[in-house]
Amino acid sequence: MKINKEIEIKKLGFKDYNEALEIQNYYHDKICNIKLNNRKNNTSLLTPNYLLFVEHNHIYTIGKSGDYNNLLLNENSLKQKGIQLKKIGRGGDITYHGPGQIVCYPIFDLENFFTDIHKYLRTLEFIVVKTLKKFGIVSIGSEDHTGVWIDKGTANERKICALGIKASRWVTKHGLALNVNTDLSYFDGIIPCGLKGKAVTSMSKEIGHEVNTDEVIEELVKQFEKEFKN
């Protein structure tokens, strides 16, 4: 089978969550349709891979197995704070997206790389860990609590990046959310990822000053290409 390891980068800027989800679905369906037609027609057209970067308006998203009890605000409070709420099809529980946070959606045909969801999650974590290292932040991935953490296993452990994915026909959707210059007070309205007593942090909080998001995206792209194109 012919494979394509090229990755097309799409910087979407600032998009409403629902609009970005439609874009995700468009590229996901495009890849799936190529794969379906290849099987039906016994052809071998290459499938593309897309890497989307976006910032969202304030929103709490709840994964398919998420618990609404981890939302600490009522409907009126959500309206007053201008926060949307949406149930979505990814794995994981509840998380926050908003300005100052880089959300990265890899829409990959894993058959171009490797067909192992566990390895895929660990690779996403590794990419973030390597990116943070470039900015002087030491972090680690975690198999027991998926995501990227600082001081994991200590009384001061805190999460800097959340992961939640979905794959169908080995084509991925959703992805990771890295707190760069995020207003962390919005996490007070939820129990992030359903993990009670776990703190959340951002790159700017760890470094002590605002971080250039374009530079972070540039480094993430480098690390994605290093891990997936080799």
Catalytically annotated residue among 32, 104, 161, 193: 193
What tens-digit pLDDT sequence spans the chain (230 residues)?
689 999 999 999 999 999 999 999 999 999 999 999 999 999 999 999 999 999 999 999 998 888 888 899 999 999 999 999 999 888 778 899 999 999 999 999 999 999 999 999 999 999 999 999 999 999 999 878 889 999 998 999 999 999 999 999 999 999 999 999 999 999 999 887 667 778 999 999 999 999 999 999 999 999 999 999 87
Q: What DSSP character marks residue 155? A: T
Looking only at the bridges linking them, the beta strands covering 50-55 and 8-14 are parallel
The answer to whether residue 32 is catalytic is: no
Domain ranges across the chain: 8-228
Q: In the chain, what's the furthest Cα-to-Cα distance?
A: 57
Residue 69 Cα distances to 31, 78, 93, 195, angstroms: 36, 15, 10, 12
CATH superfamily for domain 8-228: Bira Bifunctional Protein; Domain 2 (3.30.930.10)
CB 171 within 8 A of CB 148: no
Q: Which helix (H) or strand (E) holds 34?
A: helix 17-41
